Structure 1
Amino acid sequence: MTTGAGQVVIDEADGAVRVGLNRPTRHNALVPELVNELDDALDQAAGRDPTALVLTGNGASFSTGGDISGFLSHAGSREELLGYAEDLVGGLHEVVLKLLSFPAPVLAAVNGPVTGGATGLVLAADMAAMSEQAFLQPYYCTVGFAPDGGWTALLPERIGTAKALQIQYLNERISADEAQALGLAACVCARSELDGVIAQWLRMLETGSRATHRATRKNIWDDVRLEQVRMRLDREKSRFLDLIVQPDTLAGMKAFLQKRA
């Protein structure tokens, strides 16, 4: 059963719920509308009591993070830009927290590139399978943004503080193989094999106790730990809002789009 004809599509099969980002012509770049639909989709998925949640992107990319064109289209005034950024980054952070507290295992099928704040969707997954073409990259320092989506709230705990800083300072690209070596991906495969890997994981989850899986996840992402992540995400958002209205950041966004064009 598939529902949703907008920027997020929900598909239910074999006891699992698959949620796909569905803005492929924009490489699933994040805008408030997509983030709001994703938030609603996670509520719907949780209500279906699935064996697992699978998060992926439709098209060539998983997601290229916040849509810079969206920011610039709301840069007519400081207040308008701040309101747009608050909606987008605040909404993304609520989605990350919902993924961390989801009542079933969360799997990410990373079909292509992941940049900027969209990386938080992968960091919030329990297990990620990445296609050979996929990679993670921050891009914050090339534009002038402050990190969001968990680059400072979640990544240092996963790979160590020094490595997390190095990647962000130097805007390093984390290939799929390096992501696996760092523990950010459980598997790297050809893109054509991605669905098969996820299907295998789902079959293995089915053989175990659903109650045990959920208890394990809830023990790890308990209220204390979730509150710490929320505080760090709030700090990320505050600093993002501080920088988004700076003249250098506006110039950086325009230069980034011109270079891409």
Structure 2
Amino acid sequence: MSAPKIAVTDEPLPSGALLTRIKLNAPERCNSLDPQMVEELRDALGHARRQDAAFVALTAKGRHFSTGGDVAAFHASRDRAAYADTVVGPLQDIVRTMLQLPAIVVAGVQGACTGGSAGLLFASDLALLAENAFIQPFYTEVGFAPDGGWCALLPERIGAARALHIQLENRRLTAPMAVELGIAQETVPAAELERCLGDKIRRLDETGILHSMRATKRLVWDEPRIAAVSERLRAEQDSFRSLIGREETAAGMERFLDTL
């Protein structure tokens, strides 16, 4: 049996509320999103909901938060559309679940946060970025259709024109740029990321107004907005599936893999 790729722990906070810590735990593969990783992450979020966690801390072990989908695994798959269903489908569900989760999700991101893994950042309620963090789509470089909310969710965060520009030109967003755009709230030294994340959650807990925070999240991510994002997430998945089998995409994957 494969070693777990997601680590989950529960931690009581001073108020008596529960913090669920979810950590991507495959640093040897740069926490790339594969079928096991996304299934375990989906299960971890389900655990947080069942435990009625007040907060979820989403972090990753190693130099990089996550490099997104494993291009080599897509390229090696005999049935690329079927393989996409085992990664992209669960990823889209994860993004939707994070928006609907009553818990306040706080992400801590270091190093690369690229491809579909950026959806975990976009769907978080608050985020801290290490000074070495960067966000980049890579879809036009590889030939994939965007997934994880790059088209379904990012325009909600920063506007359609900016989201389109970043993706069409495969722009790399540094941590300060991401904060300026509103994708995250602050940058911190990489060595202090875990401590700063814990401090932020404890400060939120100390306010004693979790009921107000939950109401605010529920009002921002109300049923009409969730429904609109969900429809776009399904469209992303359909588009990803339709492009993954094209000859141009296969050639793009080969070019990309040759650069590694």
What residue is the counterpart of 1:47 in the other structure? Answer: 50
What residue is the counterpart of 1:9 in the other structure? Answer: 7
SS of alignment partner, residue 145 of structure 1: coil
Instruction: Tell me if structure 2 keeps the 8 A contact 1:51–1:205.
Output: no
The answer for unaligned runs of 5 or more in structure 1 is none
What residue is the counterpart of 1:27 in the other structure? Answer: 30
Deviations 1:179-225 (A, max 9, x none): 01001111101111112221221122212322212111111112221
Separation in 2 of the partners of 1:224 and 1:39?
Answer: 23
Q: Which among 69, 74, 86 is matched to residue 72 of structure 2?
A: 69
Q: Which among 50, 60, 63 is matched to residue 63 of structure 2?
A: 60
Bigger Cα displacement from structure 2, 190-199 vs 228-237? 190-199
Question: How does the TM-score come out when normalised to structure 1?
Answer: 0.94
Instruction: Tell me if structure 2 keeps the 8 A contact 1:104–1:213.
Output: no
Shift of 1:73: 2.1
Separation in 2 of the partners of 1:46 and 1:148?
Answer: 24
Say whether 1:223 aligns with 2:223.
Answer: yes
Bigger Cα displacement from structure 2, 117-126 vs 50-59? 50-59
How many pairs does the alignment contain? 253
Instruction: Tell me if structure 1 keeps the 8 A contact 2:54–2:102.
Output: no
* Equivalence map 1:176-191=2 (5 Å): 176-191=175-190
Shift of 1:93: 0.3
Say whether 1:151 aligns with 2:150.
Answer: yes
SS of alignment partner, residue 188 of structure 1: strand
SS of alignment partner, residue 184 of structure 1: coil
Deviations 1:113-163 (A, max 9, x none): 100011100000011100011000000001111111111111112112211
Output the aligned Cα RMSD.
1.3
Separation in 2 of the partners of 1:206 and 1:57?
Answer: 22
Shift of 1:51: 2.4
Shift of 1:26: 0.8
Instruction: Tell me if structure 1 keeps the 8 A contact 2:21–2:58.
Output: yes
Say whether 1:130 aligns with 2:129.
Answer: yes
Separation in 2 of the partners of 1:226 and 1:239?
Answer: 20
Bigger Cα displacement from structure 2, 123-132 vs 153-162? 153-162
Separation in 1 of the partners of 2:153 and 2:108?
Answer: 19
Separation in 2 of the partners of 1:139 and 1:199?
Answer: 31
Separation in 2 of the partners of 1:83 and 1:232?
Answer: 20
Instruction: Tell me if structure 1 keeps the 8 A contact 2:129–2:188.
Output: yes
